[in-house]
Structure 1
């Protein structure tokens, strides 16, 4: 009689950009002794911390993060590269008795890791998929404000530091939204009058906002496909109300409507609750 190999458990936190994935991953990892593996294909690269919106040291709250800002920015980091790196890190995390928490908006990387038969992920690991969702009109509005905050924080200077008039925007970190859009402004800012330069900058910022919103649409489409076509049991957690509040009220809504439901889903998953999928799938 064959013995069934016990699968190790892995948490995935998915969602469009700017929906609170990083915050939720830290909260879950802190609660369940986890370590986080970044799955944002631009945040894996070294540099451009503002442009790629990397989580800060303070926001990490002491939770170990992997695959965050340590890849050569000139290289092309593929889905296959991610799979090799992630699998090695997952093995180390599990061996140390911790819970792997994979977080990011690069759904193509997540799909490759889980579905590629070469890696045999499903034969070794049991997955819990969480999806932080925010209604599109609310998210678009927030994206606009966040881009303005990034500009205030030094986004333009950060891109200027790596500006190359002959740059290839199809490779490495230069594919990040915020870099190609500023090319024309950086090319002409010292060659035209102030008003023209300001207009070029405003167009670039508008394009960054627009392209980020398009990215969120693309990310959502992929999640819908994974849920509908591949039948992934992705548990949607609606964070919309958090983005409609400010200050303490927003914190309270996060706790009640996002964090506590998510912790319950993870708790049921880790405890092997047989009603886990039935209660949380749709």
Structure 2
């Protein structure tokens, strides 16, 4: 089963490309973003607008209320079912998003932990907050209780490695040190990665934050600030504004925090996709004509099955 996948950091044109390919190849789009599932969080998540959809069917957008949790395990189950449904209708599934763990757990046969808390940044935020409040040794004791094998190898003051080991255990149910078989790829997926020069990317991210403010980001964040304990409130672009609402910082400082965290997240996104998947990289920001190359490559790739079938039928 063929699945087009578009990955990359924020502000590189994933939405525009996905709609172009959906129009050209009779596709439907599945959002692979951990925050766009929430109703009412439109501006801060850069959610595709109804006019931008241009009549293309989109899935897994606006499927949860902000007080509900959503995990990679939830996404994996729902997105796989959606891929099957789209394919049965004779259309091409197009998965689009920047949440690396979501994409990886969908396309490969990953067994996610029963806890379901597999959002790459949510677990990290949770454990960092615990360490800030309770200390590195208390965080290490959590690892000792969950994964004694890793705890023996990782010093309690190496917070980064302790958190990573906890993330892996909570996500997979296995120690980070256990040898793992390479998971099987479930779909014939052509993975398109979009990126651009770092200076340009960071400028686009900064400009996007400013635009979000003009579009009403503060009003959206104020509603979420009423329930700061929910998972959705941990999203970049929202939590940084809460200190401003409570008078603890200036708006300028809060917006700079959003831009900083967005740039850092973009860097983590790129690292994930480069290290964990085979991606065909393109720069549509500086080389917009490259879209013709992408379209031609996808057309050839989609035709491979048809060519194989015709040969077998002879």
Decide: shared fold, TM above 0.5.
yes
The match for 2:272 among 216, 222, 230 is 222
Give the number of equivalent residue pairs.
235
Match of 1:128 among 190, 195, 206: 190
Q: Which moved more, 1:261-270 or 1:55-64?
A: 261-270
Structure 2 Cα separation of the partners of residues 135 and 212 of structure 1: 16
Q: Is the 8 A contact 1:113 1:121 kept in 2?
A: no
Shift of 1:116: 2.5
TM-score for the superposition, normalised by structure 2: 0.71
Residue 27 of structure 2 corresponds to residue 27 of structure 1: no
Partner of residue 236, structure 2: 177
Partner of 1:167: 228
> Structure 1-normalised TM-score?
0.79
Once residues 215 and 261 of structure 1 are traced to their aligned partners in structure 2, the CA distance between those partners, rounded to angstroms, is 28
- Pairwise CA RMSD: 1.8
Residue 260, structure 1, aligned to residue 253, structure 2 = no
Q: 2:282 aligns with which of 197, 213, 237?
A: 237
Structure 1 residue runs of 4+, over 6 Å off? none
Runs of 5+ unmatched residues, structure 1: 1-7, 190-198, 242-252, 274-282
Q: Does 1:153 align with 2:198?
A: no
Residues 1:46 and 2:39 aligned together? yes
| Counterpart-to-counterpart distance in 1, 2:239 and 2:268 | 19
Which residue does the alignment assign to 1:99? Answer: 92
1:271 shift after superposition: 1.1
How far apart are 1:69 and its partner, in Å?
A: 1.4
Q: Deviations over 1:143-172 (max 9, x none)?
A: 1111101101110111112322x622xx43
Unaligned runs of 5+ in 2: 113-182, 306-314
Q: Are positions 1:271 and 2:299 aligned together?
A: no
* Residue aligning to 1:83: 76
Distance 1:187 1:81, change over 3 A: same
Residue 262 of structure 1, CA deviation: 1.2
SS of 1:63 mapped into structure 2: coil
* CA deviation profile, 1:106-160 (whole Å, cap 9, x unmatched): 111011112235599734x211100111111101011111110110111011111
